[in-house]
Amino acid sequence: MSRLDVMMLALGWVLVIEGFTPMVAPGFWKESISRFLDEPDRALRITGLLLVALGLAIIWIV
């Protein structure tokens, strides 16, 4: 498997996982998103930073 194949496979899985909740429980998904809108920008930036760091760590390990 080439690197491009692996990246496309990973992207596909991300889309499947991200799309699962709005497909199965749209009300819960809307409620979760609305909670994010109420959070201060600083909290969202910290959350984003942690997610990026975790993603980069996983990529580096693999």
Query: pLDDT tens, 29-39?
Result: 999 999 989 99
Token pair, residue 43, equals: 């909290």
| Mean pLDDT within 5-26 | 94
Give the DSSP H or E segment for 6.
Answer: helix 3-24
CB of 46 closer than 8 Å to CB of 52? no
Look at residue 60 in the predicted model and tell me its pLDDT. Answer: 86
pLDDT tens digits along 2-13:
999 999 999 999
* Distance between CA atoms of residues 33 and 36, nearest Å: 5
Q: Which residue has the higher pLDDT, 45 or 36?
A: 45
Q: Map out the domains of the chain as residue ranges.
A: 1-59
How much is the pLDDT for 58?
86
Q: What pLDDT was estimated at residue 29?
A: 93
Amino acid at 44: L
Q: What is the DSSP letter of 2?
A: -
